A and B are shown apart, each in its own frame.
Chain A
């Protein structure tokens, strides 16, 4: 419990209180608190603040909430645990600090999980994202047998070795909130921490969206258009990377258009997820789509290393 907060802002009482507590905690530990990336992504890792910033030598610490879209997980609002749109809380620290596990446990304490009352465990779970060409070793973090976070030391991202390695923490916010609020159905979560007329639940905010998007994802998304979007995004990504690449005779060795190109990679990935939810991608095709997105991610990662943020012009003593 955080003593300074009013009751309705406590992480155990409200969904937003949980988010604010995490923001507060990680801000105190030197993270840049970012806002969600303004595009449809499948997981917080896709945010350029993680994917791209985990590359190159420059130190980086950030935390943010990322709405994540998993079109296939839609259940028309009828399943108490599954959503096609949910929130991930993402922390990235580069290089991974030696006390990252302690920092993580501190964040659980901050949201009211007492480690002498709850059984907190680090259980082997290696992470891999085939579309991002990324992998790492780490754990799923259990609280009383429930997976509440994913803890990963990135080894490779965009097919590039991480040097240095970043530590990534991903909290499934709804699940965590359900646990600390003691609620069995996600739609019953108290969103604003108030009671009576003023109480707003997760269902008030998102139930209609879950129903509508499930219809869209499974029944109505126009697959011909999506297919075109996929191909357009792929072509655009490649074109932007070509256009921004340093040319022979340039004064500067920098790449000038990585971030817009990477947006197109994200778009392609989301179009693929929607196509997959519509069931129009066969098992064999699936592999080749994943490979196409990975190729875009790799090209973006390589281009990022040719930018300031990617470590070009970095004075060696500041590393």
Chain B
């Protein structure tokens, strides 16, 4: 069966767009071919900076004929209707139609239409211009003379040629003839911009196309280019006693910048190694698209040799290229060194920093303190409705102080860490490389001799950033990390900016997961709602104080001057404050409960990912449960319990009781919450009642002590009496009082087990 080769050759396509564009091209073309009634065996997509290529194998040469019966009007229909039918079915005369008979409708015309199959070439020629014209580039452009006309072809960069051949392996393939905006498809391509002789290359099919390109110094397959780059880079590094620092994203990008990769090594002066390794790596990667290396055996420190990938085999073996790249890298690193040094020195605008220094208790002799003062002085907006970065830092500081004792952190250290946590946002290096935020703050903090926990917290308070990110353990880090996330979550909840569907622009799901992972990673039993409440008040603190001040001023204006009056005023003010704080906390309740239920959802997702059963989590979650650690512990204990014989049987018994009760409840039978011991007849009833009472109080006590295994053990004592009860006792006694009492006893089983979990939500 025939094969199709398509090449769209253009000026340099941005590296980041190539892979997706080739994939899009494959999908669009194969979908359109299939849609038109063709089938194919395999399709491959390829790309270089200057071409997108498609290799479709085993394409059917023609689409099949399609038969269709089109119903027409009744044979007795007026001429007008019949004429309309002929027109729409494309028949010349009614004699070409067939007459079908229907028992109800009588005789009517039917046209037997055959849409003849079409040659694949014809189909290809028809779909290609359409696909090219509507290609989903993230950004596209017009060019050249054609761009005078509205609606001219758009492509990512000027499209220069189209090659499109089609034919079976045994025959000479043909050029599929189509044209778009003056570009006519042919069988010609060109090789490497500099290394080939620049002459047109005539191609027949994919195999000779790839071979001819390779000869003209183009490696078509991006994955092969990547392999070449990686293995050559490793070898060159190895030969100098170095290890390549691998970087997949960079490798992908670099493979999209060359058609003929040639790996070279460049170097810079050792003095630049004074710059932190990640800054060197980012400088060289982001600006120069080069790899860095380490001495073999080093884990962190870089070497002064870097690896670059050029697009040509230079006539001097690459000496000029390596030399030139070295010069640029050197210039970039001297900028980075300048930034690194500048960040450790005094700011020029010291005179503007005094107010912030007082506000945050900063020591303006220290560089990082100056940067925090500047962050505040610049009034950088965090979010239009949530104030400035400075205001946010104040809130985080106050929350961190409150959280510190709960997680065993020194409140003074937690506050200091919170105050410095965002200071590096105004450093030169973070300005250049935002992804280094936190990490740079930590380095600068250590340089100015901050407590190691404070320095660690500056980096770690952003963590964990996702389901597999590192969870900090230092109590100071935990306190600031929690404070930061509470402020974010409560803040965005209070302005009704919650995640919806796939949209979560402020990464609130990630923040909530961060809180969950922090809280589950240790023994801290923290109740969320009071902290949400504090975070909420913090957000309003400024407004509250303003209102109190206004109230005071009003009071002062009315002051009559006598001593009693002064006391009244003080009382009035404190009453006023109490009242507005009360109102605020009342108003916050629905918002914070909503946030809590968001946490419940995230917790479910998290526990489920850890393997916990969905129904077991539901069984222990109750509205308002705000101690995540306890919820998780309870789920764990329940899992263990339900795996025991006692657990399984108790679950079955409880479910049986619940079923009977729910059938009765449906009928409207009143169920008493208490049992009457006088109505017991059988020993099993008495035993069960006693067991229920005991299990309930023991389980409640155990839960009070947060010992969930104990609670389960208490419940397991129920298994035996429940089983005997169902074995020996008939609930449906003839005496309605006895029957009602037995139902009440069943309901006691339900309430007793409910102290541990809602068994009705458990499956099986």
Contacts and interface: CB of A to CB of B under 8 A. Distances in A.
B97 interface: no
Given A101-B11, A137-B157, A163-B147, A155 B142 contact: yes
A54 to B, nearest CB: 12
B355 interface: no
A153 to B, nearest CB: 5
Interface in B133-179: 139-150, 156-158, 160
A215 B434 CA distance: 32
Contacts of A139: 12
Interface in A86-117: 95-98, 101, 114-117
Given A118-B320, A121-B257, A145-B329, A165 B142 contact: yes
A53 B328 CA distance: 35
A310 to B, nearest CB: 14
A179 B321 CA distance: 12
B315 A117 contact: yes
B327 interface: yes
Contacts of B323: 144
B331 interface: yes
A136 B140 CA distance: 10
Interface stretch (A23-31, A60-68, A122-130, A263-271): A122-130
Given A116-B315, A121-B257, A139-B12, A98 B148 contact: no
A117 B320 contact: yes
Interface string A136-168: 111100011110000001010000001111010
Contacts of B16: 124
Nearest to B150: A163
A182 to B, nearest CB: 9
Interface string B533-562: 000000000000000000000000000000
Most buried by B among A98, A101, A121, A144: A144
Contacts of B329: 145
Interface residues of A, number: 37
Contacts of A96: 143-144, 147, 158
Interface stretch (B54-62, B305-313, B464-472, B623-631): B305-313
A96 B14 CA distance: 20
A212 interface: no
Contact of B144 (A57, A123, A165): A165
Most buried by A among B16, B150, B193: B193
A120 interface: yes
B324 A179 contact: yes
Contacts of A122: 11-12, 49
B288 interface: yes
Nearest to B338: A79
B288 A145 contact: yes
B257 A95 contact: no
Interface string A20-63: 00000000000000000000000000000000000001000000
Contact of B141 (A115, A124, A137): A137
B753 interface: no
B321 A57 contact: no
B271 interface: no
Nearest to A136: B141
Contacts of B147: 95-96, 162-165
Nearest to B146: A164
A144 B144 contact: no
A118 B324 contact: yes
Given A116-B314, A121-B257, A121-B311, A98 B324 contact: no
Most buried by B among A124, A138, A146, A165: A124
Interface in B715-750: none
A155 B324 contact: no
A319 interface: yes
B349 to A, nearest CB: 9
B506 interface: no
A232 interface: no
Contact of A137 (B139, B193, B308, B316): B139
Contacts of B258: 121
B325 interface: yes
Most buried by A among B14, B147, B314: B147
B531 interface: no
A122 to B, nearest CB: 4
B421 to A, nearest CB: 23
Contacts of B433: none
Given A95-B147, A95-B148, A145 B324 contact: yes
3 closest Cβ pairs, A-B complex: A144-B324, A124-B14, A145-B325
Interface of A: 57, 81, 95-98, 101, 114-124, 126, 136-139, 143-146, 153, 155, 162-165, 167, 179, 184, 319
11 contacts: A57-B148, A101-B11, A116-B195, A118-B320, A119-B312, A120-B194, A122-B49, A137-B140, A145-B329, A146-B324, A162-B142
Interface of B: 11-12, 14-16, 49, 139-150, 156-158, 160, 193-195, 257-258, 288-290, 308, 310-312, 314-316, 320-321, 323-325, 327-329, 331
Given A115-B312, A118-B324, A164-B146, 4 more contacts: A118-B321, A119-B312, A122-B11, A164-B145
